[in-house]
Structure 1
Amino acid sequence: MAFWLVAVAFWVTMVGTTLPTPLYVLYQRQMGFSLLTSTVVFAAYAVGVLAALAALGQVSDVIGRRRTLLPGLACAALSALVFLAAHGLALLLVGRVLSGLSAGIFTGTATATLVDLAPEDGAEQATAVATVANMGGLGSGPVLSGLLAQFAPAPLRLPFAVHLVLLALAAAGVWLMPEPVAAADRPRLTLARPGVPGSVRGTFTRAAIAGFAGFAVFGLFTAVVPVFLRQLLGVPDPAVSGAVVCVTFAASALGQLTLTRPLGRAALPAGCAALIGGMVLLAAGLAAGSLVLLITSAVLAGLGQGVALRAGLAALNAQAPSGQRAQVASTFFLVLYLAISLPVVGEGLAADAVGLRTAGIAFSLVVAVVAAVALLALRRAARAETARPANRSQA
C-alpha cells in the first residue's frame, strides 16, 4: 500500500508542474505581457529544479525519505497557493520557482522510495511505475487545467484549488508510509558538484546532446504550443492545447517503457532519428497551419525524447564508475533542465523579432540539427568501436 501511495504522491506533484501550461495564453491576455515574458515565467521552473538538485540531491539518503518527500509536497502546495493569489508577473515567477523546487526534491527521492518499498526482485517494476507516475503527472496537468479552464468557472483559480486538495490527500499518504531509510545521527549535507570523469566523457557528450534536443522539445511543447494553437492554427480551446501537450508526455513514457529495451544499442540513434522526424513535421505543421501535423509531431518527438532519455541514462549508468554515478547523473540532468528553459526563452525573443510562425519553424529546424549532430556522433563512435577489434586482430 505504501508503494502505491508514494506513486500517487509522485503523480500529484508532477501534475502541478505542468498545470499552468494551457493557462499561459489566458495570463498573457489578462496581464498584458508578451510571449517572451511567458517563456521566462515557464523557464523559472528550471531555476527551482536546478537549485533543488544541487542543494538537496542526496538529502533523502541522510534524513530519510519521508522527511524529504513532505517538504517537496509543501513546496508544491505553496506554488498552488501563490498561483491562486497571482495578480501579476512577480507572483507567477515565484509560483514557478516553487513548483520547480517541488519537482527537483520529489523526482529522485520518490523514485528511490519506490525502489526501497518494492519487493527484492521488483526494482525494474518500481522504475517503470516511477516513469509512469512522472510522465503521467506531467501529461495529466495540462489536461486537467485545460478541461477546467474551458468548462468550469474561474479558469485561473479552480485548477490550483483542485491541485491543493490532491496534494493534501497525497501528503496524508506519505505521512502514513513506513520510513524505508534510517536517518543519520549527525546528518551532513553537501552541494552536488557537476562533473564527468574522463572515461565516460565521450558517451556523456553524445547522450547529453541527444537529451538536450529532447528536453528542448519538451520546453517548446509545454511553454509555446498553446500559443501556436491559438494564434497560428485558430484553435483557442484550453482543453485541446492541454491534450496536445499530454500526447507528448504520454508518447515519451511509451517510448521509455516499451521501445528502449527492445531496440538495445540502436535505441539512442533511433531516438535521435525520431526527434529529427518530429521536428521536421512540426515545422511543416506550423508552415501549413495543420493541427494533424502538429499532433503527429508531438507523438513522434515524444517517442524520440523518451527513447533517447532512457537509453542515454542507461549508457551513462553502465560506464560511469560506481562512486561517481550519482555525480554523472546529476550533471546529465543539469544539461537537460538547461535545455528545457534556455532555448524556449530564445524562442520568445525570436518570436518578438521575426514573428511567431517563423520563430517556431526556425526553432524546430535548429532542434532537428542538434539531434542530427548527436546521431552523427553516435554513428562515428559505433564505427570506431567496430574498427578497434579489427585493428587488434591485425596487430
Structure 2
Amino acid sequence: MVRRGPRADARGPAAHLRGFWIAAAAFAAVMAFGTAPTPLWPLFAERDRFGPTMVTVAFAAIVVGTAAGFLLLGHLSDRHGRRVVIIPALLVTTASAVLFVVWHGLPALVVARALNGVGTGLMASTATAYLADLYQRARPGRPLSPVPGTVAAAANLGGLALGPLLAGVLAEWAPEPLVTTFVVFAVLMTALSVALLLDVPETVPRTGRMEGAPRRFGLRPGAGAVFAAAAGTGAAAFAVMGFFSSLSAVMLRGVLGEPSVFVAGMPGFALFAASALVQLAAGGWSGARMSGIGVVLFPAGLALTVLSVYHPSLALFLAAATITGAGAGLLFKASLAEAAESARRESRAGVLAVFFATAYAGLGLPSIAFTVAQDHVGLRASLVGFAVLLSVGAAVAVAVARRARG
C-alpha cells in the first residue's frame, strides 16, 4: 500500500538557501542547549543540595531521552517530512528550558534533561538530512558539494562548544544565572521554530512510499565486527565529552578552587571546540589516519587530565581538555564513517541511530560510574582508572576495526 508524505515546497533556490541557514541555526541552538548546563552544575547542586553523584545522574538523564529520540523517532522525517520533525524537536527542547526555570529540584533536572535528549535525538538525525536536502535544491549544480556536511558538523559540534561558553558568560555577568540562561535559549528556540514554520521550505516530496518500512538495522555481510568496534570507539569518545560536561565545573571549584562560573564553562568549550575544529580540518583524511592520530591524542589528553589533578593548574586542565577533545573528535569521525560503511544501503539511518544511541550511552553511564568509584576510592584513583580504561578501550576498538576491515 502506498503512503503519501507532505508536498515538497516549490519555492526557488533563494528560499532554500535561506532555509538552509535557518535550519543550521536551529541545529546549533539545540546542540548548544544540551551543553549549556555544564558550568551551572555547581550552582544547581548548591541550590538543590545534592552532590557530584547526583550531578552526573541529572546530566546523564539526557541519554534516556536521546536514545528514545534516535531509535524510536529519528527516522520519521524520511516518511513524514523534515519540518514535521524538526519543529517539534525545537519545541520539546524549549519545554525543557522552561522546566529548568519553573521547576526546581533533582527530579525536575532529570525530567528536563530527558526532554532535552528527546529534542536532541530528533534534531541531530533530521537536521543533517534537512541541510543536505535544502542545499541540493539551493545549489542544484553542486550535487557533490561538501558544504552541507561541513555545515552540519559545524552546527553539531560548534553548538556543543558554544553552549558552555554562552551559559558561562550569562551566568557570570547577567542576573539570575539559573533563570537567564534558560530564558535566553527558550526565546531563541521559539523564534527559530516560527522562522522554520513560516520561511523554510519542506523538502520531502509527495511521492509514493511503501507502508512497510525497510529493516531499521541491517549490516552488510561480515560487517558486524566493524560496526561493534565503531560503536565502542564512539562510546569512548563520548565518555570523555560527558565527563568534561558533567564534572569539569565541579572539579574546577573543588580541586582548583576556581569560583568563576565563566571559567567553569571553559573546559567544555575547549573540548568541543577542539573536537569541531579538528574534524573540519580532517575533512579529506582517511579513516585510518584519523583513528591513528586520534588514538594517540586521546590517551595523551587523558594523561594530562590526571596530571592536572595531581598538580592543580587551570592552564594544564584546559590544555588537557583541548587535546582530549581533538583526539575524541578524530576517533568519533572515523568511527561514524565506519558505522555508515558497515550498513546496508536501505538500513543506513537505522544503523546510524543505533550507533548514536550507543555513543550517547557512553556520554552518561561512564560518568556515573566514575562518581560512584570516587566515593569509594577517591578522586585521583578514580580518574586514573577512568583514563586507563577509556584509553585501552579506544585502542582495542580501533585495532579490532582495522583487523576486521583487513
Match of 1:390 in 2: none
Is 1:27 matched up with 2:50?
Answer: no
Distance 1:191 1:24, change over 3 A: farther
For 1:125, which of 147, 159, 163 is the aligned residue? 147
User: Counterpart of 1:235 in 2: which secondary structure?
Assistant: coil
Give the whole-Å Cα distance in 2 for the aligned partners of 1:59 and 1:187. 14
Is 1:98 matched up with 2:107?
Answer: no
Cα offset, 1:264, TM superposition:
5.0
Match of 1:44 in 2: 61
User: Counterpart of 1:199 in 2: which secondary structure?
Assistant: coil
Is 1:18 matched up with 2:35?
Answer: yes
Q: Which moved more, 1:313-322 or 1:236-245?
A: 313-322
Distance 1:124 1:321, change over 3 A: same
Give the whole-Å Cα distance in 2 for the aligned partners of 1:291 and 1:315. 36
Cα offset, 1:216, TM superposition:
0.5
Report the residue type matching 2:22 in the other structure.
L
Contact 1:47 1:97 in 2 (8 A): yes
For 1:367, which of 390, 397, 402 is the aligned residue? 390
Cα offset, 1:376, TM superposition:
3.7
User: Counterpart of 1:254 in 2: which secondary structure?
Assistant: helix
Cα offset, 1:381, TM superposition:
5.1
Identity of aligned residues (%): 37
User: Counterpart of 1:246 in 2: which secondary structure?
Assistant: helix
For 2:196, which of 128, 150, 174 is the aligned residue? 174
Distance 1:191 1:344, change over 3 A: farther
Cα offset, 1:188, TM superposition:
5.7
Cα offset, 1:15, TM superposition:
1.6
Contact 1:282 1:361 in 2 (8 A): no
Cα offset, 1:324, TM superposition:
2.6
- Please, which runs of 5 or more residues in structure 2 have no aligned partner? 1-17
Structure 1 segment 354-393 matched on structure 2, within 5 A: 354-378=377-401, 380=403, 385=406
Is 1:285 matched up with 2:308?
Answer: yes
Match of 1:115 in 2: 132
Contact 2:218 2:344 in 1 (8 A): no
For 1:301, which of 321, 324, 333 is the aligned residue? 324
Contact 1:196 1:331 in 2 (8 A): no
Cα offset, 1:192, TM superposition:
8.1
For 1:311, which of 334, 353, 366 is the aligned residue? 334
Is 1:71 matched up with 2:88?
Answer: yes
Match of 1:391 in 2: none
Cα offset, 1:58, TM superposition:
1.1
For 1:164, which of 158, 181, 186 is the aligned residue? 186
Give the whole-Å Cα distance in 1 for the aligned partners of 2:185 and 2:247. 23
More helix by share: 1
Give the whole-Å Cα distance in 2 for the aligned partners of 1:100 and 1:168. 18
Cα offset, 1:189, TM superposition:
9.1
Is 1:135 matched up with 2:162?
Answer: no
Report the residue type matching 1:110 in the other structure.
A
Give the whole-Å Cα distance in 1 for the aligned partners of 2:71 and 2:146. 26
Cα offset, 1:380, TM superposition:
4.6
Report the residue type matching 2:393 in the other structure.
V
Give the whole-Å Cα distance in 2 for the aligned partners of 1:65 and 1:225. 36
Q: How many residues are matched?
A: 383
Contact 2:27 2:127 in 1 (8 A): yes
Give the whole-Å Cα distance in 2 for the aligned partners of 1:376 and 1:190. 35
Structure 1 segment 338-353 matched on structure 2, within 5 A: 338-353=361-376
Contact 1:272 1:308 in 2 (8 A): yes
Q: Which moved more, 1:27-36 or 1:201-210?
A: 201-210
Contact 1:215 1:340 in 2 (8 A): yes
Give the whole-Å Cα distance in 2 for the aligned partners of 1:347 and 1:269. 27
Cα offset, 1:374, TM superposition:
2.5
TM-score, length-scaled by structure 2: 0.89
Is 1:216 matched up with 2:233?
Answer: no
Q: Which moved more, 1:310-319 or 1:11-20?
A: 310-319
Cα offset, 1:61, TM superposition:
1.2
Report the residue type matching 2:252 in the other structure.
L
Match of 1:268 in 2: 291
Distance 1:54 1:378, change over 3 A: closer
